[in-house]
Chain A
Amino acid sequence: MNRYLPLSILALAILAFATLLLVIAPGIQISRHAAPPGLKPYTEQELRGRDVYVSLGCVYCHSQQPRSPDQAPDGVRGWGRPAIAADYTYDAPHQLGTMRTGPDLLNVGARLPSRDWHLAHLYQPRAIFDWSIMPSYPFLFQRKDSAGPEDVAVSMPAAFAPESGVIVAKQDALDLVAYLLSLDRTYPAPANALRDDGYSQPVEP
């Protein structure tokens, strides 16, 4: 080990090369694409809901990246068209996820647009799907004797409802549902969109 200088230069050069190809070049490529006209920035409430989504670890079971038909039948499942880079313009950090224990959620707001459905499902997934393995999130709700004028009551079948009183959504639950309903990337992808088409041929205009 007596050639520190050339070794260090070589190591730094390899690192610089990797940074160029893996960080700088994709950064330049992505920065050329503006946000699609159909994509709205998150509202304050949706951003709070996004924080709840992150803190509950939803990303461990739910991806947010529908694949092209050649990679997975995501379109047939109703999970939406293949995602493009610009879909994540307002997501920092993105919640792409790697696990699909549950369904992909990038278009859940379009697929399941009902707030009441989401509240019932978050309180007790088994109330709707008796086979669901999703955890329930009762701590996002509270039991009250009667719902106040501002309260959003959750409708539950008798088997899952409390013996008396009503289930009312806490602010965190409402924020989370607002975030879920904002997940709607069903606007058409621009022709020059940056995306992974898998093995499929680009569609002729």
Chain B
Amino acid sequence: MSKDPKRMTNTRHRPDENFEPYEPHRRIPWPLIAFAGALGLWGAATLLDSRQDVAAEQAERLVADNLKTGQNSEPGSTLFAARCATCHQPDGMGVRAAIPPLSGSPFVAQGPELIAKILLRGIDGPIRVNNHVFDGHMPSFASTLTDSEIGELASHVARHFGESSQTLSATEVASLRGPAGEDSSFKGGAEIAATSGFSLGDQPAFVSVSAGSLAPEISSLVFSGRGEQWACASCHGDLGQGKETTPRLAGLPADYIVKQLDDFAQGRRLNESMRMVVNTLSDSEKRKLAEYYADLRVPSNARPELGGNLARGEELALRGDWSRNVPSCFSCHGPSGFGVAPEFPALAAQHAAYTTNQLSAWAGGHRKNSSLALMERISSELGDADRRAVADYLASLPPVPAGTSEKTASIGDQP
């Protein structure tokens, strides 16, 4: 250091390198503190106050939304919209001469327990509601809805259309399932009145139509086959219930079945096994086979098994996807996918693998027999995930309650 005295002398005139500027401490004036405190209090009060406002506003918006969409957040209302409103209409007024109203119905007025029983068993016979007689065909929801869903739905219907304040819990539904669930559908309003003990007015009697005896030559076609052609039942099951890619035939419109058999023969619908089978069938045999399968009724053995998104499937089935010009399934195939004879087959309870297989066949040109090429166009708009979603949803629906004759059968029976 001392070797450079000149530099030492220079630094002596500069300010200290370590000097840090500072300001002497001065207190904040108390009015400022008081003002800030007051602002804080005011802010907190406003915050608390606006919370109430927001809550009120949200509630109002919810009510407005529900009014707009016809929905509300009550338990069971979403289920009602998806499962019941397609036939009984959102306002529960039914369809004149076809679907009984729920609103003002004496059956609904008996409370949620009877409603749950009807949901579990379904109705298959004439029923009188408010002086109108309906040909009742309601599917059983026992296999498609859980106990708590049936409880919510029955309570919702009773509250909405029957002015009942009772609710039904899942355990109560489970106890109804035992005795009521094992039985087949109610044979119209008369049986409901008889078993429930409620006075439900005059109910038309159920006229039992004995199952039309199957002609022996048709029976042998169905159960044992003929010549180079194997039996229908050997693939489609003893009661036309089908499995996987073999379709359920029970309850399909007879005209539809005949058309498909003709289309297999003509090559408008490609299926090598079916082409071989229909080769030897005469027109009258096709008609008789179709009528046999159209009249069969059998519980659903279809399950959603393709891992599809059921919510998306429901969306497609009920409302379609107009961003891709896909109409809803039910707009042609009837409410709840029960089919519209003669052209549109039932979709409900059809096997998911079969449904998605056919959608692929239409899109890929292996099936060219849809009127106006409707299904070809719709199928090619649906992606793989959408096909699986809608097929899985349709497989989860209860089967079509077809015909008027008493042919309820369980899988495994043979006439």
Residues of A within 8 A of B (CB): 68-69, 73, 75-78, 80-81, 107, 110-117, 120, 127-130, 155-158, 161, 186, 188, 200, 203
Q: Is B74 in the interface zone, CB < 8 Å from A?
A: no
- Residues of chain A within 8 A (CB-CB) of B227 are 155
State which residues 337-360 of B face A: CB under 8 Å: 352-354, 356-357, 360
Decide: A69 and B243 in contact? CB cutoff 8 A: no
Contacting A69 at CB < 8 Å: which of B225, B279, B307? B307
Question: Which A residue sits closest to B237, measured CB to CB?
Answer: A113
Chain B residues near A117 (CB-CB < 8 A)? 230, 234-235, 273
> Which A residue's beta carbon lies closest to that of B387?
A76
B388 at the interface (CB under 8 A from A): yes
Q: Within the assembled complex, what's the spacing in Å between the Cα atoms of A117 and B230?
A: 7
Could you list some 10 contacts between A and B, CB below 8 A? A68-B307, A112-B235, A113-B235, A113-B243, A114-B231, A114-B235, A115-B234, A127-B276, A161-B228, A186-B244
Which residue from chain B places its CB closest to the CB of A121 in the assembled complex? B273
Q: Which chain B residues border A75 with CB–CB below 8 Å? A: 305-307, 352-353, 356, 388
Query: Is B246 on the interface with A (CB-CB < 8 A)?
Result: yes
- Asked whether, in the complex, the Cβ of B234 is within 8 Å of the Cβ of A116, the reply is yes
Question: Which residues of chain B have C-beta atoms less than 8 A from A116's C-beta?
Answer: 225, 230-231, 234
Q: In the complex, what distance in Å separates the CA atom of A40 from the CA atom of B302? A: 21
Interface centre among A68, A114, A157, A203 (most CB of B within 10 A): A114
Query: Shortest CB–CB separation between residue B300 and chain A, in angstroms?
Result: 14
Which single residue of chain A is at the shortest CB-CB distance from B306?
A75
- For B305, list chain A residues within 8 Å (CB): 75, 80-81, 186, 188
B382 to chain A, nearest CB (A): 12
By a CB distance below 8 angstroms, the chain B residues around A80 are: 244, 305, 353
Q: Is the CB of A155 within 8 A of B354?
A: no
Question: Is the CB of B405 closer than 8 A to any CB of chain A?
Answer: no
Starting from the known contacts A76-B357, A128-B276, 7 additional A-B residue pairs (CB-CB under 8 Å) come to A76-B360, A80-B305, A114-B230, A117-B234, A120-B228, A155-B230, A188-B303
